[in-house]
Amino acid sequence: MRAILSVSDKTGLVDFARGLVDLGVEIFSTGGTKGILQKAGLPIQSVSDLTGFPEILEGRVKTLHPAVHGGILARRDLPSHMEELAQKQIKTIDMVVVNLYPFIQTVSKPGVTLEEALENIDIGGPTLIRAAAKNFPHVLVVVDPDDYGPILEKLKSGQLGMEERRRLAQKAFQHVALYDTAISQYLRQDGEGFAAELTIALKKRFSLRYGENPHQEAAFYEEVGNKEQGIGSATQLWGKELSFNNILDADAAWAVVTDFTEPTVAIIKHTNPCGLACHSELSEAYQRALSGDPISAFGGIVAANRPVNLAMAQEVIKTFYEIIIAPGYEPDALEVLKSKKDLRILDMGPVKTGPKGVSRDFRHVRGGFLIQTQDTIVEDAKSWRTVTRREPTAGELEDLTFAWRAVKHVKSNAIVLAKEATLLGMGAGQPSRVGSVEIALKKAGQRARGSVLASDAMFPFPDGVEIAAKEGVTAIIQPGGSVRDAEVIEMANKYNLAMLFTGVRHFRH
């Protein structure tokens, strides 16, 4: 049996190669892999011994040779193939152990140049892998160090059958596909818009106990090359493993608080903020967020965009939450939070700031995907238009600005009531906008008086405005654009409301 070993990831390499040598496998290798194996005292031959040709172009061409690929691709069950190998004095290669140049790791580094990226695009490796995987009934292809041990055991026992070979080939093709996708993404760099062809590179992080319901299987995959600060990059400091629903809600929670620059706390239930507030004192921001809907907060997720301090932690533990997520924790705050054994504690690290690239939002539908850019438009309050007779006061304008940022994180038809940088009531996901208004007013109760209202999309009828006005709402912000805008504005004027049109919609289904 003859094998080619040429790997970028050297994990477990020496022990695996030693096991192959003990089984009588003849090993050929290149570059750094050969050096490590020789240093370990193993009998290794150079691939140049196979080809009779030296490496050229500073190692760019090593394995691209008929003596290598003929030995891999020849079908052992076809006499014509074997006769041709014999005529050309080529011997078969029965195992290919290859993983690829660290392209993904290289382009993830800040300041990497195009030249550095190009030099880390592997050519010979994918060709070896694809050749071996194509001929998997006769050639073993190994791309994952985690497979080394099981493969050795099966080779020793003679139980490495066709199903295992097929599994390894599938894994090999996927390995190359992910690699090629990462290269394509890098070269495109989101500057091409929506390409005619698109692949998504996903790498499994961990299995989940189940999906949305116990009878559904689930796992968490991270998108290779995506530099967004997401739940996949969080460090879990405490609590049991995350569930499918936990990850969905935690992602929504982090998206909300990082959309605000002021110290902010959000409480999330079923991906919607049922509580949200900004305040210079984080513990006060938390208490104000909780006041938005203390009943719905039970069993939800708390998020902050500042490190959690002791004062906030002491308030948080008074209510049952599934998760708390923040960019760090003061040591005494962490100890207090750990007193809740069922509370999962996630540390996101410092909030990433600065310009963000164009990110895609993928929605699966049966038979395909909908893809859009994320709702990250930069808005200028100076472009908002007052369409009523009364201008908003300075205080109302501050509240409207907060409410408008909050409402984009609520599911459509979204209505938010707010005052003093605090969410007082929220209506979401209703078939009619007036239904969401009624729910938001009910949640706010008496606090609706003197509050402002934000609507993620236009009011199609004036009824929602009238209901809000009768309950004491004093100002409204909405996109505008309804065929009945004139009626809506007339209703606002009737109750002396101030109303702003933004010209921007924030649907979130």
What pLDDT shows up at residue 357? Answer: 58
Question: Which residue, 101, 104, 6, is CA-closest to 46?
Answer: 6
pLDDT band with cut points at 50, 70 and 90 for residue 437: very high
pLDDT band at 374 (very low <50, low <70, confident <90, very high): confident
State the Cα–Cα distance between residues 415 and 187, nearest whole angstrom: 41
pLDDT digits (tens, 9 = 90+) for 115-130: 888 888 888 889 999 9
What would the mean pLDDT of 25-41 be, rounded to a whole number?
91
Report the CATH number of the 381-501 domain.
3.40.140.20
Largest CA distance in the chain: 97
Annotated catalytic residues are: 134, 270
Cβ count within 10 A of residue 65: 18
Has residue 54 got a pLDDT over 80?
Answer: no
Task: Say if domain 236-347 classifies as CATH 3.40.140.20.
Answer: yes
**76 pLDDT higher than 60:** yes
Residue, of 78 and 406, whose pLDDT is higher? 406
- Using CA atoms, how far apart are residues 264 and 303, in angstroms rounded to an integer? 8
- Weakest-pLDDT range from 24-28, 60-64, 230-234, 264-268: 60-64
Contact 427, 438 (CB under 8 A): yes
Whole-angstrom distance, CA of residue 303 vs CA of residue 254:
6
The domains of the chain are located at 2-188, 236-347, 381-501
Place of tokens 């963000």: 356
With a pLDDT cut of 70, the percent of the chain lying above it is 97
Cite the DSSP H helix spans in 62-147.
66-73, 79-87, 103-107, 114-119, 124-134
Q: How many CB atoms lie within 10 A of CB 157?
A: 8
**Stretch among 15-19, 113-117, 257-261, 443-447 having the lowest mean pLDDT:** 113-117
The pTM score is 0.84
Q: Same topology for domains 236-347 and 381-501, yes or no?
A: yes
pLDDT score at 14: 95
Residue 197, pLDDT above cutoff 90 = no
Superfamily name and number for 2-188: Methylglyoxal synthase-like domain (3.40.50.1380)
Taking only the tens place, the pLDDT of each residue in 81-98 is 989 889 988 899 999 999
DSSP state of 211: S
504 vs 57, residue with greater confidence: 504
CB atoms within 10 A of CB 270: 15
Question: Of all residues in the chain, what percent carry a pLDDT higher than 90?
Answer: 70
Measured between alpha carbons, how far is 272 from 426 in angstroms, rounded to an integer? 9
**pLDDT score of 56 more than 80:** no
Summarize the confidence of residues 46-68 as an average pLDDT: 77
Is residue 355 over pLDDT 60?
no
* Among 238, 382, 414, residue whose Cα is nearest residue 313: 238
Q: What is the pLDDT of residue 142?
A: 96
* Position 439 pLDDT exceeds 90: yes
Specify the pLDDT at position 358. 62
Rounded to whole angstroms, the Cα distance separating 425 from 448 reads 8
Mean pLDDT of the chain: 91
Instruction: Look at residue 436 in the predicted model and tell me its pLDDT.
Output: 96
6-32: average pLDDT: 92
Write out the H or E segment, with its range, that includes residue 18.
helix 13-22
Tell me: the pLDDT tens digits for 270-326? Answer: 999 999 999 999 999 999 999 999 999 999 999 999 999 999 999 999 999 999 999
Do 372 and 360 touch, CB atoms closer than 8 A? yes
Half-sphere exposure of 100 (CA within 13 A, CB side): 27
